[in-house]
Amino acid sequence: MTIFSNLVRINILLKPLYTERGVILAQRTIATHGNFDYDLAVIGGGSGGLACAKEAVNLGAKVAVLDYVTPSPQGTKWGLGGTCVNVGCIPKKLMHQAALLGESIHEAVAYGWQVPSLKDIKISWAALTESVQNHIKSVNWVTRVDLRDKKIEYINGLGEFKDAHTIIATMKNGSKKELTAKNIVIAVGGRPQYPEIPGAVEYCISSDDIFSLGHPPGKTLIVGAGYIGLECAGFLNSMGFPATVLVRSVPLRGFDQQMARMVTNEMEQKGVTFHHKCVPLSVEKLESGQLKVRWLNTELQEQSEEVFDTVLLATGRYALTKSLNLEVAGVNCVTSSGKISASTEQTNVPHIFAVGDVLAGRPELTPVAIHAGRLLARRVFAGAQQHMDYDNVATTVFTPLEYGCVGLSEELAIERHGADNLEIYHAYYKPTEFFIPQRNIRNCYLKAVALREAPQKILGLHFVGPVAGEVIQGFAAAIKCGITMEHLSNTVGIHPTVAEEFTRLNITKRSGKDPNPASCCS
């Protein structure tokens, strides 16, 4: 059967039966009837779309995935797998690791390693980007093979709706393919936003370009202090490329602001320059090829300018819904952001769903997109009931000193529960491995935001320090299970680790006691 045919198809599906928690109870045989090419068409082959497609096919559905990457204004493009694999989490973590390794070489000397000459140690940007891109290409390849093995039809075309059940895919060579599907999932994700200032589109790069940039970035201005901006500034600076950040409002808006200050303090101490309350006005290319940037301090109403080698825009992302022709399918979207409102991933058109970054008001994170996509497939194709729980999703900012958190920030907890009903436990700590190289410990800090009333249910955990993501992940499970301060203080730590610091928390902010550690082992 070709994808163009509209023949009535009868599928005998062996469908697992799911419990509330997604555990397979039994297999049941059901028959689906339909006059569509596919049971499911997914527009967007990124984290959410692929997870949904794979789960659906495991449940016996006939599935097609459309994925197409429009080149960035600087011409960067990439393969199958979406943002995370190609221009997001993965290359970002690899570059973060490269930066950490550079710092480790210096620390190694203090531990007795004989390094020939520290001043000659520098990074080869070309070698780094080649290694990163080789890894990405291998993931692209494995993803394609996986789709083929699972018999998921991969269509490398830009999808748009023709009507509520029909999608037109425009292929690379301009030819068009039409396909029909009983169910459609929109998983198109987003792309970096460009501010409307002269020179932005012509001369600036974004996170879409940095991981494959064909030359070392040199002195770099990062516009935007969200997590993507700070992470890029962090790894570039640690690699020896001077980094300056323009902050429009506050760094890491939406995150706990005390922790955000720890992160930026550490970056400043490592040499990153921050210009607060500043917005860019223009970017001009000089004869030297460098970029002259003018910006405005909105508080002082003062203009400044400086010359940089690279300007990286990290001023937010927009959802890729514009070219989808959602109107002909009758799907509503939140007009200002282009995002889709679908509280249970079901849009206002019952057989059209949305997952991942395209959803309004949901965390833009890969595991969120994957989990929601999988659960959705189980509901549509296996009669499961479980919905995605978007609360208490843990995340980590991979700045030089990492920041991991789960649950409510102190600000949000106060807003929801009132300061009088909360107890905030906090501590500075000294990672053992920092002692010998005498690393800065001033920003190694953690806190637990808990209800004041016993047993003091924990609402949020925050940690700035090494391997923050690894530390927070386990505690995220504990928060899901309703962990209290009582549980935490009755947990025996693993010594000497940084994660054990959570089990040692005993000083409250209300007490006014000094949260600095007396010694490592008491």
Q: In the complex, what is the shortest distance from the CB of residue 156 to ligand FAD, in angstroms, rounded to a whole number?
A: 9
For residue 81, say whether it is annotated as part of any ligand binding site: no
226 carries a ligand binding annotation: yes
CB of 517 to ligand FAD, least distance (A): 29
For residues 416 and 468, is the Cβ–Cβ distance under 8 A?
A: no
| CA dihedral (152, 339, 77, 135) positive or negative | negative
CB of residue 324 to ligand FAD, shortest distance in Å: 6
Q: Which is nearer to ligand FAD, 60 or 159 (CB)?
A: 159
Cβ proximity to ligand FAD, 121 vs 171, nearer residue: 171
Residue number with CB closer to ligand FAD (390 or 434): 390
Write out the H or E segment, with its range, that includes residue 308: strand 302-308
Report the phi/psi class of residue 456: left, alpha or beta, with left for phi > 0 and alpha for psi in -120 to 50.
Answer: left
**What gap in Å lies between CA 91 and CA 138, rounded to an integer?**
13
Cα separation, 103 vs 284, whole angstroms: 34
Rounded least distance, CB 73 to ligand FAD, Å = 15
What's the rounded Cα separation, in Å, for the pair 43 and 49?
7
Rounded to the nearest whole angstrom, what is the least distance from the CB of residue 181 to ligand FAD in the complex? 14
422 annotated as ligand-binding: no
Task: Rank residues 167 and 450 by Cβ distance to ligand FAD and give the closer one.
Answer: 167
Active site (annotated) includes residue 495: yes
CA gap 126, 216 in Å, rounded = 7
End-to-end CA distance of the chain: 71
Q: Which residue reads 């016996």 in tokens?
A: 60
CA distance 49 to 183: 13
Q: Does residue 230 have a known ligand-binding role?
A: yes
Alpha carbon distances (Å) from 13 to 16, 60, 185, 274: 9, 5, 20, 58
Q: Which of 367, 41, 281, 295 is nearest to 180 (CA)?
A: 41
Please, which residue, 228 or 313, has the CB nearer to ligand FAD?
A: 228
Query: Based on CB atoms, which residue is closest to ligand FAD, 66 or 422?
Result: 66
Instruction: Please report how close the Cβ of residue 262 comes to ligand FAD at its closest, in angstroms.
Output: 19
**Hey, what amino acid is at 395?**
T
- Interface with ligand FAD (CB under 6 A): 43-49, 66-69, 82-84, 87-89, 92, 158-159, 187-189, 207, 228, 320, 323-324, 356-358, 364-367, 369
Q: Is 22 annotated as a binding residue?
A: no
240 is in an annotated binding site: no
Q: What is the 3-state secondary structure (H, E, C) of 378-418?
A: HHHHHCCCCCCCCCCCCEEECCCCEEEEEECCHHHHHHHHC
Omega within 30 of 0 (cis) for the link into 455: yes
CA–chain centroid gap for 223, Å, is: 18
For residue 316, say whether it is annotated as part of any ligand binding site: yes
Q: Which tokens go with 65?
A: 């995935």
Tell me: is residue 225 an annotated ligand-binding position: yes
Q: Is 231 annotated as a binding residue?
A: yes
Return the closest-CA partner of residue 135 out of 102, 86, 97. Answer: 86
To the nearest whole angstrom, how small is the minimum distance from the Cβ of residue 57 to ligand FAD? 17
Q: Do residues 315 and 223 touch, judged by C-beta distance below 8 A?
A: yes
- Shortest distance in whole angstroms from residue 493 CB to ligand FAD: 27
**Strand 302-308 to strand 291-297: parallel, antiparallel, or no bridges (unpaired)?**
antiparallel
Beta strands 153-155 and 63-66: pairing type?
A: parallel
To the question of whether residue 93 is assigned a binding role by annotation, the answer is yes
CA distance 262 to 271: 14
- Give the pair of three-digit tokens for residue 49: 């779309």
Which of 256, 364 has the CB closer to ligand FAD? 364
User: Nearest distance from residue 492's CB to ligand FAD, in Å?
Assistant: 31
Which C-beta is closer to ligand FAD: that of 184 or that of 197?
184
* Residue 227 annotated as part of some ligand binding site: yes
Q: Which is nearer to ligand FAD, 16 or 404 (CB)?
A: 404
Residue 243 contacts residue 272 (beta carbons within 8 Å):
yes
Under 8 Å between Cβ of 220 and 206: no
Catalytic one of 96, 165, 275, 495: 495
Cβ(242)–Cβ(271) under 8 Å?
yes
Strand, coil or helix: 450: strand
Return binding residues for FAD: 93, 159, 357
Residue positions annotated with a catalytic role: 495
Return binding residues for NAD(+): 224-231, 316
Return binding residues: 93, 159, 224-231, 316, 357
